[in-house]
Chains A and B, each alone.
Chain A
């Protein structure tokens, strides 16, 4: 599904190297967790994969479903099935959530050769997905992320994921800013989307998210490289011992 080889990436402005030879293989249906201390390059990895401006890949390659991911535009990556759930979803004042979601969905459908959904069809779909995620349908009438609570923003991200049906989703610190109840609802939403063809990359600082979203593999990212990989038990070990050991190693 996703194959990252020897990925080196730096920040364009100051040429500060953040990813320093990262390797990762993700197969269909797998859930991988990336953990690591602050500043290890976790969010950079998500941004580079999604194609955000401001980063430069200096070495290495990323293949997504056999295609050279790095040569694609941001929206082309999305059309190919890559989804990034943002740590800090941005507000777009005046743009109604429903209109935003419908535009996203239809643009993606067009790119995938599917017919567009008309207003009624889409409204039905959006309401059904919102109900599954225990989202108050009134949210669809509000402006995109404007005045949303932390929990609402993250749930809205999961709603977008549910509508766009990506094959590979990156969750960037989805647990940040969530209380326990919100965390559970968001995790349930993610778990409901897990299937044999869909893969996840869960980026998190804390183990607690992984109590809810059980990973198949856990990796420790420190100083731009994956320094250790293991099963779910690795997350528990990190919770107990912290990242101190890895920060020193880095």
Chain B
């Protein structure tokens, strides 16, 4: 049997057992009834003790959502989603009592995060990383809060920010991704439950990595988190999100919205390690990941980098984007997307150049294995005033086996004659010859494939914060485990 044929055989054998985050936490949940209507939206808002303006904002989004159509242009297919068949709010009962410190947090929750490799208790915390842990619809703990307060950095669950910093939330919420931006953004705006809020004041360089860890646990529950990060003039922040979910036979829905605002000379580095349950080898179960992420570089010389390592989810629909308004602002998108078995991913980025001398850089690395299908979809748009704007795009696809697919769909619109857009794309295959070569030099097949794949994604892994680069590299290898000897 030829080596890649063998590889394909083994890819097929990857079963859900290799997904080590697939356990379920047995915990008493507080849920509102299944289904979606105005009353549900009101109930969510009431659960969160929200002010009137936010309820109105949600209801408006809901009404618009009911008039919208689910987008169908992505190269993914899945059975029609019955939005009335989900729970839109599920929270551990113990959180309803609002634990004031970690000592009061339900040990079961702490244990859950510990198993996920995210220790929340004082002694074992990740050094230099503040974590906000979101469990289904609520944030259960945020570490290093006080240390951050010392430098006036606000890092807290968005529901808490609505209470404590309403003026800030109101000023920025929905200004980057309007409620009616798209179907899933409208849905999120209507029913979002938790997520993180970050505000870095003028001139402050956030002294530690901020991180949110999302966990979907409850059955038939959607997670709709909303993250808002604002970096004021001359400020800097690096933020990372991680995601996992238990193995379940039914598909779970995740529709997040992330908004980033970068003011003059500020920089936001946003990294994602997405490892939602991808479904089993027959495509049963897994997360539907429909996410809208957008950054506005409003200030001059501001900079936003999106770095993502996407290995999970059954279906992914996600295009982290940058609107480069400020003159001299920069947008970057570094992506590794891995699909295996029957996973489908339609992902990419949008770089909208508005201001003069704006620059963007896109490095996308897609790896398809098994019978998976992956599309890079990207838009680079140079508006008439984007004098001297520059873009460089590189899209590389790597195929493992001969039953997977990789597609590249770049859209380029240039309305300024001085703007320069460069696009490079390659598609390659892990060849039998490469594997044979490595094995002849003493590596077993698994080691050989890991080496080849790591070489392929290296450029992007380097962009991750050091604390997570090693974890991400391991994740890349785990995701392809079984696709090799």
The interface of chain A, by Cβ under 8 A from chain B, is: 50-54, 73-75, 77-79, 83-84, 86, 89-90, 92-96, 99-100, 103-105, 107-108, 111, 143-144, 160, 164
Contacts and interface: CB of A to CB of B under 8 A. Distances in A.
How many chain B residues sit at the interface, stated as a range, is 20 to 34
A53 B443 contact: no
B443 A103 contact: yes
Interface stretch (B39-47, B117-125, B134-142, B447-455): B447-455
Contacts of A160: 441
Nearest to A75: B439
- Highest count of chain B CB atoms <10 Å: which of A83, A100, A143: A100
A92 B432 contact: no
A107 B447 contact: yes
Contacts, number: 82
Contacts of A108: 441-442
A107 B444 CA distance: 8
A93 B1 contact: no
Given A53-B2, A53-B3, A103-B447, A93 B455 contact: yes
B436 interface: yes
A95 B1 CA distance: 26
Contacts of A143: 455
A53 B1 contact: yes
Contacts of A104: 438, 441-443
Nearest to A170: B440
A96 B455 contact: yes
Given A75-B442, A75-B443, A107-B442, A52 B451 contact: no
Given A53-B3, A103-B447, A78 B442 contact: yes
B440 A50 contact: yes
A94 B447 contact: no
Nearest to B436: A52
Contacts of B2: 53-54
Interface in B420-457: 428, 431-434, 436-444, 447, 451-452, 454-457
A79 B428 CA distance: 29
B476 to A, nearest CB: 13
- The B contact surface, by secondary structure, is helix
7 contacts: A53-B2, A53-B3, A73-B444, A95-B455, A100-B438, A105-B442, A164-B442
A105 B438 CA distance: 11
Most buried by A among B428, B439, B443, B451: B439
Contact of B442 (A51, A52, A111): A111
A107 B485 CA distance: 15
Contacts of A77: 440
Contacts of B444: 73, 75, 107
5 shortest A-B CB distances, which residue pairs?
A: A95-B455, A94-B455, A108-B442, A104-B441, A74-B439
B454 A95 contact: yes
A79 B455 contact: no
Contacts of A99: 451, 455
B436 A94 contact: no
Contacts of A94: 454-459
A104 to B, nearest CB: 4
Given A84-B440, A95-B455, 6 more contacts: A50-B436, A53-B3, A74-B440, A79-B442, A93-B428, A104-B441
A104 B448 CA distance: 9
Contact of B437 (A73, A83, A90, A103): A90
B463 to A, nearest CB: 15
Contact of A90 (B433, B456, B457): B433
Interface string B289-315: 000000000000000000000000000
Contacts of A105: 442
A144 B458 CA distance: 14
Nearest to A110: B442
B364 to A, nearest CB: 14
Nearest to B458: A94
A89 B1 CA distance: 22
Nearest to B430: A92
